[in-house]
Amino acid sequence: MVYFTQAEIEQWLAEDVPYHDETTRALGIGHKQGVLDIRARETDSVLCGTEELIKMADLLGLHVVFSQPSGYQPSRGERVFSVSGSAAMLHRWWKVAVVLLAHASGVASQTRRVVQAVQSVNPALHVATTRKIMPGNRKMMVKAVLTGGAIIHRLGLSESILVFAQHRAFLPPSVTLFDLVQKLKAASPEKRILLEAESVAEAIDAAKARADVVQCDKLSPDILKDLVVQLKRINPRIVVSAAGGITPENAVNFARTGVDLLVTSSVYHAPPADLGVIMTQD
């Protein structure tokens, strides 16, 4: 799915333990052997990140006793991961691993809930997530939303063309949307052209300009219902996406409008999955 290098995982560990663990050293327990179990405390979570926990354990010389894969939905109280080794290495691994697993699983769980809700209304509808992610967390968040069943709207600026009003601010007023689309298709013949529209009029102009995708920003479901019909009448092949203000609470309302895609960043703010940790001496 998403590949993490050894260097990336080493950086996670180094951030938390740049030198040594003073508590374990002072207690003189580092050499003792133990087992750490992670258990789910809720019933509707979707695991994400256990593969990276395995790599992290390997780097520290820990033995992975048991692990469920990303995408697995545990029941309350179920063991999802178990690792054994020295107390020194278990404590190096513990917080980094569990916090990573909890946050990634929280996003995957929220994503799964949104996807299931909108597809109960429209099975063909995709949920896509944006690049509005705290720097440094993008790769894990991409894995989380894919695990939850969504797709990625844009990974960054390099691979797609999406024109905002902020881009058009640098163009002469005489440049029409049709001219703009033709210029982009000539400059990037392999790319689909996405135009953001902040009003009904802008969306209609984008469809007339033969854009491949029109992204309707912050338009209400009531407006979108009629607008989708108009846009498809102008250009039957156009993809209509809804973006801006879409949350788990209102996603179903947008799903009923007939749009082809829901674009959201709300799932990144999901609370962490509730996980419990039990550490025992072996």
**Structural domain count of the chain:** 2
Chain-wide mean pLDDT for the chain? Answer: 96
Instruction: Look up the CATH number of the domain holding residue 104.
Output: 3.90.1170.20
Same domain? 138 vs 100? no
pTM: 0.94
Q: How far is CA 242 from CA 55, 128, 217, 236, 260, in A?
A: 38, 10, 6, 17, 8
Q: pLDDT at position 44, please?
A: 86
Joined tokens for residue 252? 């179903």
Segment 86-113 mean pLDDT: 98
CA angle 226, 232, 233 (to 5 degrees): 90
In what side-by-side order are the strands of the sheet with 79-86? Answer: 63-67, 79-86, 33-40, 275-281
Residue range of the domain that includes 252 = 122-269
pLDDT at 82 over 90: yes
Which helix (H) or strand (E) segment is 275 a member of?
strand 275-281
CA angle 264, 268, 118 (to 5 degrees): 45
Same domain? 81 vs 220? no
